[in-house]
């Protein structure tokens, strides 16, 4: 039976249609995990069929074929065929074709009017070739995390249906509590292609005291909750699973080579409570709708998309679920931010548009119970610890740290921004030099003296510097009085 669309889902479809009317042929629709992507996709298919259009729905993996067929039929979609060898639903004449990306790569590309690409942040080569070969064909991407590098070179518009924060506020996603009891030592772990090298990471994380810590923290905070644990590689995930088994916890292990029958058996055990913990590596990040109440992040990452996909497994609401529990033993939340602060509102690499520098809002663990808090929290929601009100000097230090850790070199940006600020507010070059030296400890030798409008990072730093200086002067006056 077809379900009615929620208001934000209706608005998302309206925005998508407006994007297509504006001339975009490759829009990307962003909707967080658990936001009802299947319902929106089914509505798109329904509208396309009403106009007599044929449509192909491409899923990333073979095992999602039957799940998608069932989900579409539950939403009232008919005329569905499947492109897969020996599949009982094979019907080339059907106006709606569901196909996996691996199958597409081996077949002649079908003749169609619209292509929906599920999990489009992982854009397969066959889809890229299809886009290039058919520049007028409409491709609509669907993703919870459309933040892949250079995705903007393949899609021409980003339609944001909803955000994690808005869906939590509306209770369409579960509230959560996040804890970060320990950061691992990642000294010497290389970063390759934007994320930690898997081999180095496994060496750093697959140590008895760390694998045992996963069990210890789970028992202290989440014992009895249906839990997914995410490991670095097979060796690391298997070691964690054995720690649970030795501790007498009903736990299972899944990796990319686990057979379908084994996965289905583990899912059944997880659903009926015979299995409390499933430790996995790389297979339970997307495409599952299990009733997960707790996530243990034992795999450090620098990827917003990977972290958001993992967290999304636990944010689906369920009967009797007041909140999800997130246990971070990887340092990832402290480095990237809490779920509602992950990602971007732009497609990376969009032609003709410079990507805005991301200002990260990073949480801090409570010193008493390790619950993560946002920068505006004044009291821990778990143990009641009261945080001191940050002074302007504290804020300046935080802003300076964020600026210095920016992926874009700050020296040229800061110097050009100071020159622009001085010109705008009639300040001297000595003011520029003093502020530059105060931040970097040296002088802007060799840098251009061309002023440029400061970006958000530099502007925030200049403002924080000014406020901290005024606050320091006021403190000195009070001390002398």
Q: Write down all domains in the chain, each with its CATH number in brackets.
A: 7-162 (3.40.50.300), 172-373 (3.40.50.300), 392-480 (no CATH)
pLDDT (tens digit per residue) in 99-138: 999 999 999 999 999 999 999 999 999 999 999 999 999 9
Regions of the chain where pLDDT drops below 70 = 1, 287, 352-359, 405-408, 481
The pLDDT, as a whole number, for residue 474 is: 84
* Count of alpha carbons within 13 angstroms of residue 83, beta-carbon side: 25
The pLDDT, as a whole number, for residue 283 is: 84
The pLDDT, as a whole number, for residue 39 is: 92
Q: What 3-state class would DSSP assign to 351?
A: coil
First vs last Cα of the chain: how many Å apart? 76
CA distances from 291 to 217, 226, 228, 320, 371 (A): 21, 7, 10, 11, 23
- Rounded to whole angstroms, the Cα distance separating 339 from 310 reads 10
CB atoms within 10 A of CB 146: 27
- Rounded to whole angstroms, the Cα distance separating 177 from 327 reads 9
The pLDDT, as a whole number, for residue 455 is: 85
Answer for the pair 429, 422: CB distance below 8 angstroms, yes or no.
yes
The pLDDT, as a whole number, for residue 31 is: 95
């Amino acid at each position: 039976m077809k379900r009615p669309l929620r208001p934000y889902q209706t608005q998302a479809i309206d925005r998508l249609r407006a994007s297509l009317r504006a001339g975009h042929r490759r829009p990307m629709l962003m909707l967080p995990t658990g936001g009802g992507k299947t319902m929106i996709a089914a509505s798109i298919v329904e509208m396309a069929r009403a106009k007599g259009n044929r449509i192909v729905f491409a899923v990333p993996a073979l095992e999602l074929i039957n799940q998608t067929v069932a989900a579409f039929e539950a939403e009232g979609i008919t005329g569905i065929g499947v492109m897969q060898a020996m599949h009982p639903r094979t019907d080339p004449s059907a106006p709606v074709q569901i196909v996996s990306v691996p199958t597409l790569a081996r077949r002649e590309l079908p003749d169609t009017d619209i292509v929906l690409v599920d999990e489009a942040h992982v854009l397969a080569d066959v889809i890229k070739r299809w886009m290039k070969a058919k520049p007028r064909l409409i491709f609509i991407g669907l993703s919870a995390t459309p933040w892949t590098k250079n995705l903007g070179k393949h899609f021409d518009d980003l339609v944001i249906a909803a955000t994690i924060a808005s869906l939590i506020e509306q209770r369409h996603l579960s509230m959560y509590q996040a804890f970060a009891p320990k950061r691992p030592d990642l000294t010497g772990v290389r970063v390759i292609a934007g994320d930690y090298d898997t081999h180095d990471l496994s060496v750093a994380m697959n140590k008895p005291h760390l694998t045992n810590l996963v069990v210890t923290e789970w028992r202290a905070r989440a014992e009895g909750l249906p839990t997914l644990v995410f490991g670095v590689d097979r060796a690391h995930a298997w070691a964690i699973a054995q720690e649970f088994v030795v501790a007498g916890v009903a736990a299972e292990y899944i990796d990319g080579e686990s057979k379908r029958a084994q996965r289905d058996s583990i899912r059944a055990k997880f659903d009926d409570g015979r299995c409390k913990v499933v430790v996995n590596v790389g297979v339970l990040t997307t495409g599952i709708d299990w009733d997960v109440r707790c996530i243990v992040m034992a795999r450090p990452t620098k990827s917003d998309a990977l972290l958001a996909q993992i967290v999304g497994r636990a944010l689906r609401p369920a009967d009797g679920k007041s909140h999800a529990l997130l246990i971070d033993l990887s340092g990832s939340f402290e480095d990237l931010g809490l779920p509602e602060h992950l990602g971007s509102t732009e497609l990376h690499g969009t032609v003709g548009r410079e990507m805005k520098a991301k200002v990260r809002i990073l949480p801090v663990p409570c010193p008493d119970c390790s619950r993560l808090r946002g920068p505006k929290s004044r009291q821990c929601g778990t143990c009641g610890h009261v945080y001191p009100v940050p002074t302007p000097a504290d804020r300046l230090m935080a802003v300076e740290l964020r600026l210095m850790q920016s992926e874009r070199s700050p020296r040229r940006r800061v110097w050009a921004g100071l020159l622009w600020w001085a010109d705008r507010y009639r300040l001297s070059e000595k003011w520029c030099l003093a502020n530059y030296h105060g931040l970097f400890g040296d002088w802007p030798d060799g840098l251009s003296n061309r002023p440029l409008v400061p970006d958000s990072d530099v502007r925030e730093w200049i403002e924080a510097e000014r406020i901290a200086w005024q606050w320091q002067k006021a403190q000195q006056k009070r001390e002398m009085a």
